[in-house]
Amino acid sequence: MTFTKKYGKILLPLITPYTENEEVDYHRYAELIEYLIENDLCDSLIVTGTTGEASLLTFEERVGLMRTAVEASAGRKPVIAGTGCASTKETIELTREAEALGIDLVMVVCPYYNKPTQEGIYQHYKNLAESTDIQILLYNIPIFVGVNIEAQTVKELAKIDRIIGIKDEAGINPTQVTDYFLAVKDVNPDFVVFNGDDIMLLPTIVQGAMGLVSGGAHIFGHEIRAIFEAFDKGENEKAKELFTPIYRFCKSTGQNGRILPNSILRPAIELVTGIKLGPARGPLAPATKEEMEVTAGILKEIGKL
């Protein structure tokens, strides 16, 4: 079975709901999952990705969210676990927890804060693959981790059976998707390359990206699916027309220099879904009234509110 046949083209990194005192709200998490499945807004669910604020969660909270997602989805949508941590040791331990829950695929961010060399990155993923029996999707997001997974490193990692693909934060280097394809084509032609940046959806589809890891799919899942369908049919003008509102919305979640969009994305999802998610966990500052006026205005203008 091919990757997209099993996991689809729209992989949605779930927002993590919190109570007023910043405790993880597992009940709301299950409610959100039910909403997403009922409305068919994605093909697969990702637990504790960047949109899920993985770096702000404890080990136990991440395992609890994985367990909740597996139970709430009940086999209706595949669950992918984000298990990347700053250390190789903890990454292996968290990946084993995902494996024990019956999850088949983990998305593993490049180790953050430490800025490892390319050899360190290679050894990190190699050790993980040798220490578990689960399939691994590399996750490259240099804007947060501080280093880039270079194409030559991906080429070497693609030789390892359990490492099946990469999600790239394409907004940092829009042409790197092509670099990855060129690097792996003779090593593993089935290697999966996904874009991880909503605003880079159209540019990366043209380069051959097989799908999108999209926090925006909480709101725009149907539009994203329609964009893929339009592109497949050669309806480029339609794809561009559908993409423009998503682009405008996503740009608005980065107001005032925000790099992680969660502070604005959370209340926007609340407005559309009616599900209480709470503010982002500190140190992320909550959205201001002025910021939400801009974002809510866009949502109203494009018919989401």
- Of 279, 196, 291, nearest to 249 by C-alpha is 291
Distances (CA, A) of 2 to 189, 210, 231: 12, 11, 20
Contact predicate 168/200, CB 8 Å = no
127 burial class (0-12, 13-18, 19+ CB within 10 angstroms)?
A: middle
How far does CA 38 lie from the centroid of its chain? 20
Phi, psi dihedral angles at 100 (to 5 degrees):
-65, -25
* Other residues' Cβ atoms within 10 Å of the Cβ of residue 122: 19
In degrees, rounded to 5, the angle at the alpha carbon of residue 222 between the alpha carbons of residues 221 and 226 is 120
Query: What is the identity of the amino acid at 26?
Result: Y
User: Among this protein's residues, is 89 annotated catalytic?
Assistant: no
Cα–Cα distance, 151 to 245 (Å, whole number): 32
Residue 168 is given by DSSP the state E
Cα–Cα distance, 83 to 59 (Å, whole number): 9
Place of tokens 């959205």: 287
Largest Cα–Cα separation, the chain: 52
Cα–Cα distance, 140 to 136 (Å, whole number): 13
Contact predicate 162/134, CB 8 Å = yes
User: Among this protein's residues, is 29 annotated catalytic?
Assistant: no
Q: Annotated catalytic residue: which of 9, 77, 155, 167? A: 167
Cα–Cα distance, 91 to 116 (Å, whole number): 15
Q: Annotated catalytic residue: which of 139, 159, 240, 300? A: 139
Positions annotated as catalytic residues are 139, 167
